[in-house]
Amino acid sequence: MSGHPQDTNAPARAPQGSSAAASDSETSSEYHDVDDRLLPHEQADMMAVLAGSAEDEDEDEDDEDYDPAWLNAPVSHEHDDDIIDFVDAEEGDEDEEDEEEDEDDDDDGIELQGTIPLLTILQAARSGHWSRNQILSLLGDPEQLAADIDDEDDPSPLSQILRRGRRQPKDPNRFPKVPSIEGEKLMRSGVFGSNESAFDRRMRKQVSRRILDRELGTVDYDARRRNHGLLAQSLLPTTQAENIIHYDDPVYSGQFSDDGNFFYSVCQDFQVRMYDTSNPYNWKHYKSVHYPWGQWTLTDASLSPDNKWLAYTSISPLVCIAPTDPLDTGDPYNLDLSEDHQARRGHWGRPGGFTGIFSVRFSGDGRELVAGTNGGSLVVYDIESRRVLHHIEGHSDDVNAVCFADKSSPHIIYSGSDDSTVKVWDRRSMGDKREVGAFVGHVEGITYIDSKGDGRYILSNGKDQSMKLWDVRMVMSRRQFRDLDPQRHTRYRSYDYRMGRYDEEDWDPHPHDNSVVTFRGHKVLNTLIRCHFSPPNATNSRYVYSGSRDGKVYVWNMDATLARVIDVQKATKDSRERDGDSSRRYYRFDDGGSWSTCVRDASWHPNAPFLVASAWNGYSLARGTCSLHSFNEGLNDEGDPPMSCNYDPKMRKPEWEEAY
């Protein structure tokens, strides 16, 4: 994302106070896109800009950063990620009345005062600051002009120039091939699961037959080992939910501990809730901790390697550390990751400063924290001495995700940024503030990264609607990264993943892509959606998976083919009654108050065929859920309690359900 104010992680706001007429299509997009039609004050600004451009065309042509003032109106949340404006439903009444009064003006073009050179208008269009509809409105009737442009026999200079500027069709085969050849090699290598023998493929063994073979022990050790891996791989969670935990606010993250006995959920209400999941089918809530100075939402949390401490943070330089022991009722203690150890005062007197933390992780030995900030920097913090060891401005945009390459080692660190790169850092040589190397291939910002934990493979999710697998042996060196300048091939200027939809026609493969496999099909929109490797015990490390804006969890084989799609929206739809509060809270990208789901995170149980999807969920996306999905061969549930039971955050029957 660029350094302009409107390109921060806070959503752009539509111009206020408009009395211009709006068509039906414009009215329906009230919470989606900024209106292409020019408002009266915008018309005046544009006229002034064009008039000034006509006087000095050469100067404006050389100014690459030129922006009309009305297009760069600052947003109120300068560095908040995923901030969504809530709009009171009652506020729409006055706008509707204005629309009715101005219905007769819908098709009026802008009457130009004086003559503006055609070249000046074309330069404005080429700059990308104005949309096609805005430029057409300057020139008169858009429909008539569009018809004139499409007239191949029209010899006018305008028609010829605009026809030459139309986008040429792109190669439909430019997308990565599926199945991926490199991914198939990985599947055959044994690093990512087991493969069936020719005999097994002919027999098409079912789960019950594999269990019988395991119990009888009629095969040799190698066959038993392969059979065990194939059995684990076949137990994929299904769409039907075991339980649904409902929250009054959207859930931003939820993860199991490495041993599976612990689960925590991170919510927008600045609370982290902890659950005993030693029995994955019978959860028990035992503790909640609060973040006292939160701004907008909690952004991330990390569990220490020994499961004794939980670190969690918000858009602030402060990290809270809370004990997970239910008998320890003491308050969490705070760590200030700002370099001078003094949290500056921000809005409303709360801690602010130059950093907002989007990602935090414990090191493998539990002695250090690494954090990614909104200033494009990484912070390494020593917990025992309570001091910043390194503060490195290693990226040109927000660092949305950080992780360690190997859970048993604190040395190698990965960082993923909105500058579209994943960088590799060696903890032992961070004093020179330079990365070891970089991965390039995404053409939009990176929302999340996850390490397989073996020091070799890493996974990243990107706003270009792709997920990529990387091999650290193929990392681009620092010198090569500097000489090739791969970032010049990234980021479509007018695309904003928070509010718009990604146009596949704008996507081109990165010429220096050094990823191994590219996975596509999910929707990385509106928020920093997360991706993960599947666990080695429960799945034999066979899969990778990601949340998605369309309310699903996508599970891929390593060759980029889909192994399973878990439809969380289908499983949770209408599981909670509509209330008056949610009907008044509209996310600007939502479709007018219907039930909608955005799966922001998912976590696979390390030892059981069990997955938890953490989502923004409900009417108008105003609420949140953690839905539990397990392997289930049959549609008829014979378990007790029955499936799809609803619970509140403390695993009690909800009050709104008791009313029925």
Q: What is the pLDDT of residue 431?
A: 86
What was the pLDDT predicted at 229? 73
Instruction: Give the mean model confidence (pLDDT) for residues 46-63.
Output: 47
Q: How far is the C-alpha of 597 from the C-alpha of 241, rounded, in Å?
A: 14
Mean pLDDT of the chain: 77
Confidence of residue 367 (pLDDT cuts 50, 70, 90): very high
Least confident of 236-250, 256-270, 567-581: 567-581
What is the residue-wise DSSP string for 446-499? EEEEEE-SSSSEEEEEETTTEEEEEEGGGPEEHHHHHHH-GGGG---TT--TTT
| For residues 323-327, average pLDDT | 94
3-class DSSP state of 415 = strand
The pLDDT-based confidence of 186 (bands split at 50, 70, 90) is very high
Instruction: Please give the pLDDT value at position 194.
Output: 82
H/E stretch holding 253 reads strand 251-256
d(CA 249, CA 256): 20
Bigger pLDDT: 592 vs 532? 532
CA 260 to chain centre: 25
pTM above 0.75, yes or no: no
Sequence letter at residue 427: R
The whole-angstrom separation of Cα 270 and Cα 147 is: 54
User: How do the residues of the chain divide into helix, strand and coil, expressed in percent and rounded to 5?
Assistant: 25, 25, 50
pLDDT at 478: 92
Closest by CA to 388, choosing from 420, 437, 355, 364, is 355
Task: Output the pLDDT for position 102.
Answer: 47
CATH number of this structure's domain 235-658: 2.130.10.10
The Cα–Cα gap between 284 and 95 comes to 48
**Span 234-244, average pLDDT:** 94
Query: Bigger pLDDT: 470 or 126?
Result: 470
pLDDT tens digit sequence for 116-155: 555 566 666 555 555 566 665 655 554 555 555 555 555 5
Give pLDDT, residue 88: 38
| Tokens 């000046």 belong to residue | 120
H runs (alpha helix) in 204-332: 207-216, 221-234
Question: 220: pLDDT confidence band, cut at 50, 70 and 90?
Answer: low
Q: Which position has the higher pLDDT, 227 or 337?
A: 337
Say how far apart CA 571 and CA 546 lie, in whole Å. Answer: 17
Q: Collapsing DSSP states into helix, strand and coil, what is residue 336?
A: strand
pLDDT for the residue 306: 92
Looking at residues 521-533, what average pLDDT do you find?
97
pLDDT score for 655: 77
- What's residue 211's pLDDT? 65
Helices 132-139, 40-55: axis angle to 10 degrees equals 80
Out of 28-42, 445-459, 612-626, pick the least confident: 28-42
Burial class (CB in 10 A: 0-12, 13-18, 19+), 214: middle
Q: How many CB atoms lie within 10 A of CB 434?
A: 13
Lowest mean pLDDT among 114-128, 194-208, 332-346, 404-418: 114-128
Assigned token pair, 568: 């969380």
Of the pLDDT bands very low, low, confident and very high (cuts 50, 70, 90), residue 409 is confident
Give the pLDDT band of residue 112 (cuts 50, 70, 90): very low
Q: What is the pLDDT of residue 598?
A: 97
Average pLDDT of span 311-316: 96
For the stretch 77-93, what's the b/e string if a residue is b when 16 or more beta carbons lie within 10 angstroms of its beta carbon?
bbbbbbbbbebeeeeee
Domain ranges of the chain: 5-164, 235-658
- Between CA 583 and CA 593 the distance in angstroms is 6
DSSP strand pairing (645-647 vs 241-247) = parallel
Q: What are phi and psi of 458, to 5 degrees?
A: -140, 150
CA distances from 134 to 35, 63, 130, 595 (A): 9, 21, 6, 33
